[in-house]
Amino acid sequence: MSERTSVDPSLSDPVARIIPFPSAPVTPQIAFDRAELRVLFNLYGRMVAAGEWRDYALDFRRDKAVFSIYRRTSEMPLYRVEKDPKLARRQGAYAVVAASGLVMKRGQDLARVLGVLEPPLRSV
């Protein structure tokens, strides 16, 4: 038996050799958890029922999560609710930003921050 036949041909052939890809570093992504989404969608549902809002978008980035609220689907967002954990100890992780870029309210509690978007109570 020759030496060539005793060796696995896939190991000696450079084309058949498997080269693993280098592992890419996994970057953490900021997202809203289930309780935060419940608070967001409760407000969103009430405003859709009132005819104020019509569409939303979720954007999860490396540095922050954004819930964008639209009056119509084809325009810029009316409001953005941002979660930025880097600001949690200073100003608060949550912020409501208007279309003009003005930060309307910032804080630690999402429900309290979203209070700026609630319609004022009317006397009957």
pLDDT tens for 24-54 read 677 788 899 999 999 999 999 999 999 999 9
Paired with 97 in beta bridges are 80, 103
CA distance 32 to 114: 14
Global confidence as pTM: 0.73
**DSSP character string of 23-39:** PPPPPP-----HHHHHH
pLDDT < 70 positions in the chain: 1-16, 24, 73-74
